[in-house]
Amino acid sequence: MRTLSVLGLVLLLGAVPDGATAAPVPPAQRLAAQDDSVYGCIVCHADKRRSFTLGVHSEQGIKCHDCHGGNTAVYEAPAAHQGRFVGTPSKLGTIQLCSACHADPNQMRQYGLAADQLAEFRTSRHGQLLLEQGDAAAPTCTDCHNAHLILPPEDARSEVHPTNIPATCGNCHEDAQLMARYREPTDQFERYRTGAHGVAVFEQRNFAAPTCIGCHGSHAALPPAVNQIADVCSQCHELLGRAFYRGPHGGPARSGELQGCLGCHSNHGTERTPFDAIAALCQRCHDAESGPGLMGAEIQEQVLRATEELHQAADAIDEMVAMGHEVADERFRYQSAVSEYNQVALVQHSLDLEQLRDLGLRVRSNTGIIRATAEAHAEEQWEHKLLLVPVWFLALSVIALAWFKLREAKP
């Protein structure tokens, strides 16, 4: 085993002695390979053939012996397993085997695939453990990608499809016994699944939302450094990231004094701060009576007030709809108010109080008009009731006159 790892290392460093293992054959020759019907491996390994033929490698004409070697012309085990035969490769052997093609840009170009997986893997924690420390528990290619059934990431059955990635990572990262060796927590998957990103991926099937690899990288898997956290998040939350760096917390986050976004949010759970807990959040670090503490209180008040205004405006619109009024203008105003309200989130990160007050004012100016319109309609409805006074006056007068006349007419 040890010799093998050393051998593997040597191979990885580029000095691949030809003939030591089965080097894959270029595609042109593969097409001329033997016909399936006289292919020896499938006599025993029918199950492997079945999964392999569904994968992308089979589509490109790759066959068993391209990776495993052996003699495919015979149908009996000892004879078939002769020559440059590799049964189940070791972890290092696997890396060597895969990277023989996948680290070669010339071969990957035709498929539009990157050839940097090996280079990335070397930088990752997984790679460090496996390649430098020889940790047998560290993952190799086939721990995340199926050895035979290799599918493109777009395929929902693939281990690296967005909905499957968290479970693929969880194979090891949810294993408490294994993770205890590295002092790693095991609740990431669970917290991710219930967080905003997990809900987006699993429930809304929004694959633009990140899975594990969105923040940690796939082959170069590593937790971001403290001063990189805000940059990782702003890959998607671009405007929020810019606002954050503009604000007073930006500097400390750059220098690593502050944990970037994690100062207020959690990493895997990505909880939002409830609007009524903003002030309390600020007070975790700042004194309530200090400038930043007071600022937090005002932000909370402004946000809560704008939220309440929007709710009231929505109720007012519902009321007008129930009365049968046209509400196209009010709906438009409501949309304007909502788009201004959404900018409040930016200000919460840049902590620009002036801008926040201005946004609050703009939200209120729109919702105020909506509510005023609804009130005017309600007033109108009340005025309609005044109509009943003349109606009943006339009706009762007519009835009274009719009664007098009737009494007169009676014999």
Partner 1 sequence: MIRRMWHATSLWFSQTWDDLKASADAGLLGGARFLGLIYGPIDRRLRIDDALRKALKYRLDPHVGWRQMFGGITYVLFMMLVVTGVLLALYYRPSVQEANPSVQHIVSNVSFGWLIYHVHVWSASLIVLAVLAHMARVLFEAAYKPPRETNWTVGLLLLGVVLAFGASGYLLPWDQWAYWTVTEVLVAISGFPFFGGVIADALMGDVIVSGATLSRFFSLHVIVLPWISLALLSYHFTLVRRRGIAPPVEVNEEKAPWRLSAVGTTQEVLKQAMEEAEQQGTPFFPNHLLRSLSVTVLVLALVVTLAVLFPRPFGNPADPLTVPDRLVSTWVPVDVSLALLRYLGMWGFTAFTLVGFSLFLLPLFDRRPERHIRKRPVVAALGAVFFGGFVMLWALGRGIGSLPPSEGIGQVERQERVVPARSSTPLERVGPTPVEPGSPADSAVGDGVGRP
| Window contacting partner 1 (CB under 8 A); options: 133-141, 183-191, 306-314, 380-388 | 380-388
Q: Exactly one of 37, 112, 322, 354 binds partner 1 (CB under 8 A); which one? A: 322
392 binds partner 1 (CB under 8 A): yes
Report the distance separating Cα 71 and Cα 273, nearest Å: 63
Distance in Å, CB of 410 to partner 1, minimum = 8
389 interacts with partner 1 by CB under 8 A: no
Given a contact cutoff of 8 angstroms between Cβ atoms, the answer to whether 172 and 139 are in contact is yes
- Which residues fall within 8 angstroms of residue 187, CB to CB, at 6 or more apart? 268
**Is 33 or 54 the residue whose CB approaches partner 1 more closely?**
54
Q: Confirm or reject binding of residue 332 to partner 1 (CB under 8 A).
A: no
Among positions 32, 38, 46, 387, the unique one binding partner 1 when judged by CB under 8 A: 387
- What type of residue is 232? V
Asked whether 249 and 258 are in contact (CB, 8 A), the reply is yes
**CA 108 – CA 23 distance, rounded (Å):** 16
Q: Answer for the pair 317, 330: CB distance below 8 angstroms, yes or no.
A: yes
- Count the helices and strands in the chain (H runs, E runs): 24, 0
Candidate residues 136, 239, 288, 323; the one interacting with partner 1 per rule CB under 8 A: 323
Helix H or strand E encompassing 335 = helix 328-350
Region of 87-95, 113-121, 363-371, 399-407 interacting with partner 1 (CB under 8 A): 399-407
Q: Alpha-carbon dihedral of residues 343, 344, 349, 351, nearest 10 degrees?
A: 120
At its nearest, how many Å lie between partner 1 and the CB of residue 376?
11
* Nearer to partner 1 among residue 157 and residue 272 (C-beta): 157
Q: Which of 2, 183, 284, 410 binds partner 1 (CB under 8 A)?
A: 410
Question: Which residue stretch of 28-36, 307-315, 331-339, 400-408 sits at the interface with partner 1 (rule: CB under 8 A)?
Answer: 400-408
From the list 101-109, 275-283, 305-313, 395-403, the region that binds partner 1 by CB under 8 A is 395-403
The Cα diameter of the chain in Å comes to 133
Closer Cβ to partner 1, 182 or 403, answer by number: 403
388 counts as binding partner 1 under rule CB under 8 A: yes
DSSP 8-state code for residue 46: H
405 near partner 1, rule: CB under 8 A = yes
46 touches partner 1 by CB under 8 A: no
Q: Which of residues 142-201 bind partner 1 (CB under 8 A)?
A: 157
Nearer to partner 1, 261 or 370 (CB): 370
Q: Do 74 and 40 meet the contact criterion of CB atoms below 8 Å apart?
A: yes
Q: Which stretch binds partner 1 (CB under 8 A): 65-73, 137-145, 230-238, 379-387?
A: 379-387
Distances (CA, A) of 386 to 193, 352, 393, 399: 59, 51, 12, 21
Tell me the HSE value of 153 on the side-chain side, using a 13 A CA sphere: 11
Q: Where are the alpha helices (DSSP H) in 201-327?
A: 212-216, 229-233, 238-246, 250-255, 278-282, 291-323
Instruction: List interacting residues with partner 1 (CB under 8 A).
Output: 54, 157, 321-326, 377, 381, 384-385, 387-388, 391-392, 394-395, 398-399, 402-403, 405-406, 409-410
